[in-house]
Amino acid sequence: MGRAATFEHAAAALADAAHELGRGASARPPAQRDAWWTLARDVLAPMGGPGQTERALARIALEWAALDDGADTDRVFALRPSAWIVVRAGGVERWLGALLDATPVPVLEVVADSPSAAPFDAAARLPPPRRVVCTGFEDEAQAAAAEVLRALADRCAPVALVALDRALVRRVHALLERTPGMRVHDETGWRLSTTRAAARVMTALRAAAPQASRDACLDWLKSDAALPATTLQSLEAAWRERRRLPPDADAAWETQRTRLAPLAVARQPLAQWLQALAAVLGPAGDDPAAQQVAAALRLDGAAGGAPWHQAAGEARPDLAGFTRWVDDVLDAGVYRPPAPPEPHVVVTPLARALLRPFGAVVCPGADDRGLGAWPAPDPLLGDAVAQALGLPTLAERRERETLAFAQLLRVAPAVLLRRLDSGGEPLGASPLVERAMRARERQRAACPAQQAWQPALEPVERAPQRRPAPVVVDGLPARLSASAVQALRDCPYRFFARALLRLREAEELDLDLEKRDYGSWLHALLLRFHVERAEPRPADEDLARLLALAEPLQAEQGLDAAQLLPFRAAFETFAPRYVRWLQARDAAGWHWRAGEVDRARDADEALPVRLVGRIDRIDRIDRRADGAAWQLIDYKTGAVDALKKTVREPLEDTQLAAYAALVASGDDAPAALQAMYLALDDREGPVEVVHDDVGATAAAFVDGLAADWRDLRAGLGLAALGEGQVCERCEMRGLCRRDHWTAEPPAGEDAR
Ligand code: SF4
């Protein structure tokens, strides 16, 4: 065990011991408590040798518990009745004996327990419990849920679902909640940390951290629900798209951020942290979970005992430490929801199931670990100390469990379930169940054999997943961009999802600056550089201007200087190479003519869909024997080899073909048209990757797209092609259910 784990273990043991000692004190009348604490100090006197650390921890627990100056039992000890009526069920309560001794009045005692020597004899005279054996955890949960439903069908409500195994019962609860109208009252509750109210607390603390990410801030804003949905959407969209916040969202965010100000403190006493947190969260209102969270954290000003006040005044955590403490408290706390009216099922611990009018009992987890196992000794107090101080000993705890189980078997028809395996470890029958069965055998009562659980199976029609191919005749988009055409070619179904359903992945928040951002910045920089460069000029002037434009544009685009630093270093080496390339272009007679040019080609006979696109750059050359020529240039920051591979198969190059088709279709269509990719970040400088005879490719592109479009309008399905690398990187893989159908299309199915 590492040091951190050892510390956690020791702290938990210390807290448990303090609680146990506190309970020991409260079992005494107030007047006898000082003497009891004195006895406890004697019994837990410091010692040396083996066990001295445990003893020292036990002493701390003792002094901590002794600081508490009150007990839950004080009000009972203060009563002065003329008589007591005592019902004994489920074993001995020590404080009860002390109470009766302290108030010597007549007592009517009803003993509901069987003698400890034969605890199951009374239950043996009743109908036998059914014993069901399951293979594993899920099997047992399903079986328990089925038994509850069966009992309810037999009109045995309310059914007690005994929580021997919390995880198992939580699963049973979840299964039962699938039944419409089912009312379950969970008296055991579940972790406070899993409630929405606890999540709101934690998200507020994480958002208040000095380096809080936008993810953390957004989580808080969503859980806090203080902003109107439209404002929140606008804020989230701007953050995801790395835009400046619109004014209304900006103002709303400032207001919300101000709310977190009470938590913007370096370090302060725990009590003040709690006041600050209470100020940020506001009143708990009617939400029972929020009320229980406030109570667990003492946000509502609920007074703790003296130990609490001392600890809250002395501890001075920073925000991170306070956040950890809150997380621990919420994780250790239990949320108990309010009871629904007339519940069908009551989830209850064994000790609270006694003498209650249940119609049936379902008890999963009745195995040798969950029921009747010998309890583990307290690591700090031990059985000898417990004996000396009148705390419950191991034998007493076991006897209480035995008597409680014996009572359970007398409450109502019971089903006891267990599984054979837990995480690879074999599980046996509960020793208490075995004793109960032996008692029945001794009395020659019915003792039916265990049953292996068999789920009731229903036949289900086979429904193999088919490759989707939605037919969209009237809903096809009125215009296509080059990237949309590429998507259509890659996989028509993906095109359907993106262009028709308009689905897209949300942009990640808080990502570091990506190459994509650098690419956008560089595109904008080159555009600005060329717009103001009216004619060729010396290389040193070009270089100086290109470098000078970088900084203001970075500020304009709101790019983080630190995050852009690695890219700026690359830019410093790119700039002189680019200028060299540009000077060579000047010498060859090329002129920059336009950048970021939006072009459109209206639908017509030849292509029945509008085509649109934005061309990075158009250059022109005039000094040629055969007249002027135009060159379409697309800037790329990717690998040169991939671009060369693309133009090697010209009919596969959608982008430059689409741009050429756009330029060739206008009234100003040039007689001579060229196109190329310009790879900007190659080590040797900008590399021209020319698409030869792009005019012919553009014509073939238009013909091919027109044919495809007519087919789609005629009812051809937008089939999921499901092939190659495209699928590996596809964000729609879950939507088309690519992993659930075979690559081969079913016979007769249209596939492109
Ligand atoms: S995973 Fe493959 S088949 Fe499915 S939509 Fe994407 S590209 Fe098409």
98-154 pLDDT, tens digit each: 899 888 899 999 998 888 889 999 999 999 999 999 999 999 999 999 999 999 999
Does the C-beta of 745 come closer than 6 Å to ligand 1?
Answer: no
Contact of 567 with 550, CB cutoff 8 Å: no
- Ligand 1 centroid to Cα of residue 708, in Å, is 19
Does the C-beta of 720 come closer than 6 Å to ligand 1?
Answer: yes
Q: Which secondary-structure segment (H or E) carries 415?
A: strand 414-419
Higher local confidence (pLDDT), 674 or 570: 674
Q: b/e map of 451-464 (b: 16 or more CB within 10 Å)?
A: eebeeeeeeeeeee
pLDDT of residue 747 exceeding 50: no
- Ligand 1 centroid to Cα of residue 648, in Å, is 25
Region 581-595 average pLDDT: 94
Does the C-beta of 722 come closer than 6 Å to ligand 1?
Answer: yes
SS3 703: helix
- Ligand 1 centroid to Cα of residue 728, in Å, is 8
pLDDT-derived band at 302 (thresholds 50, 70, 90) equals: low
Residue whose CA lies nearest to ligand 1 atom number 5: 494
Region 87-91 average pLDDT: 88
pLDDT of residue 624 exceeding 90: no
pLDDT of residue 548 exceeding 90: yes
Q: Please state, in angstroms and rounded to a whole number, the distance separating the CA atoms of residues 599 and 742.
A: 41
Strand 130-134 relative to strand 414-419, pairing? parallel
Q: b/e map of 148-184 (b: 16 or more CB within 10 Å)?
A: bbebbeeebbbbbbbbbbbebbbbbbebbeeeeebbb
Region 350-379 average pLDDT: 92
Please tell me the predicted confidence (pLDDT) of residue 161. Answer: 97
pLDDT-derived band at 307 (thresholds 50, 70, 90) equals: low
Please tell me the predicted confidence (pLDDT) of residue 670. Answer: 74
- Residue 227: CB partners within 8 Å, gap ≥ 6? 221, 235, 252, 256
Q: Which atom of ligand 1 is nearest to the CA of 722?
A: 3
**Percent of the chain scored above 70 by pLDDT?**
95
pLDDT of residue 457 exceeding 90: no
Q: Which secondary-structure segment (H or E) carries 699?
A: helix 694-713
Lowest mean pLDDT among 116-125, 241-250, 435-444, 597-606: 241-250
Does the C-beta of 495 come closer than 6 Å to ligand 1?
Answer: no
pLDDT-derived band at 675 (thresholds 50, 70, 90) equals: very high
Q: Which atom of ligand 1 is nearest to the CA of 727?
A: 2
Phi, psi (deg, nearest 5) at residue 161? -105, 105
CA 150 to chain centre: 34
- Ligand 1 centroid to Cα of residue 639, in Å, is 25
- Ligand 1 centroid to Cα of residue 470, in Å, is 13
Amino acid at 369: R
Lowest mean pLDDT among 511-525, 537-551, 619-633: 511-525
Fold of the domain built from segment(s) 121-189+339-452: Rossmann fold (3.40.50)
Return the structure tokens found at 149. Answer: 């439903």
Q: Which atom of ligand 1 is nearest to the CA of 497?
A: 5
Does the C-beta of 498 come closer than 6 Å to ligand 1?
Answer: no
- Ligand 1 centroid to Cα of residue 712, in Å, is 18
- Ligand 1 centroid to Cα of residue 740, in Å, is 12
- Ligand 1 centroid to Cα of residue 484, in Å, is 15
Does the C-beta of 429 come closer than 6 Å to ligand 1?
Answer: no
Q: Could you tell me if residue 323 is left (phi over 0), alpha (psi between -120 and 50 degrees) or otherwise beta? A: alpha
Region 461-469 average pLDDT: 85
- Residue 733: CB partners within 8 Å, gap ≥ 6? 727, 739
Does the C-beta of 730 come closer than 6 Å to ligand 1?
Answer: yes
Q: In sequence order, what are the beta bridge partners of 110?
A: 87
Amino acid at 160: A
SS3 28: coil
Region 344-361 average pLDDT: 94
SS3 359: coil
- Ligand 1 centroid to Cα of residue 471, in Å, is 16
- Residue 275: CB partners within 8 Å, gap ≥ 6? 262
Q: In sequence order, what are the beta bridge partners of 480?
A: 611
Q: Please state, in angstroms and rounded to a whole number, the distance separating the CA atoms of residues 273 and 20.
A: 29
Does the C-beta of 491 come closer than 6 Å to ligand 1?
Answer: yes
Region 721-725 average pLDDT: 81
> Which of 493, 500, 731, 742, when mutated, tests ligand 1's pocket best, judged by the most ligand atoms within 8 Å of its CB?
493
Lowest mean pLDDT among 149-163, 263-277, 340-354: 263-277
Q: Is the pTM of this model over 0.75?
A: no
CA atoms within 13 A on the CB side of 719: 19
Q: In sequence order, what are the beta bridge partners of 367?
A: 429
Taking only Cα atoms into account, the Rg of the chain, rounded to an integer number of angstroms, comes to 38
- Ligand 1 centroid to Cα of residue 721, in Å, is 6
Residue with tokens 């890219």: 567
Does the C-beta of 719 come closer than 6 Å to ligand 1?
Answer: no
Strand 84-88 relative to strand 479-481, pairing? unpaired
CA atoms within 13 A on the CB side of 91: 20
pLDDT-derived band at 363 (thresholds 50, 70, 90) equals: very high
Please tell me the predicted confidence (pLDDT) of residue 303. Answer: 59
Residue whose CA lies nearest to ligand 1 atom number 7: 727
Region 679-691 average pLDDT: 89
